């Protein structure tokens, strides 16, 4: 990847992280609170969250290795 392309990718990733952080800070809606009563949905949500955290950690490592 050339430097310009890396910078564009990094900017897109940073923008996505900001959107995720904003969404995570929003209070739960009534639908979300109802969903919390569904153990299967909660299990799937937790699995998805762990998968996303793992992917972000891996992405962070890749970006760190590129920046060196």
Block means of pLDDT (10 residues each) for the chain, 68 residues, are: 74 82 69 71 86 86 79
Predicted TM-score (pTM) of the model is 0.50
- Residue 68: its pLDDT value, please? 67
State the residue for tokens 């990094």: 10
Check residue 37 and report its DSSP letter: T
Closest by CA to 7, choosing from 56, 60, 59, 67, is 67
- Residue 13: its pLDDT value, please? 83
């Amino acid at each position: 990847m050339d430097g310009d392309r890396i910078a564009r990718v990094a900017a897109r990733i940073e923008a996505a992280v900001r959107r995720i952080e904003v969404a995570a800070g929003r209070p739960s809606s009534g639908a979300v609170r109802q969903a919390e009563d569904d153990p299967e949905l909660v299990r799937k949500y937790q699995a998805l969250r762990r998968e996303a955290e793992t992917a972000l950690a891996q992405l962070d490592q890749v970006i760190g290795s590129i920046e060196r």
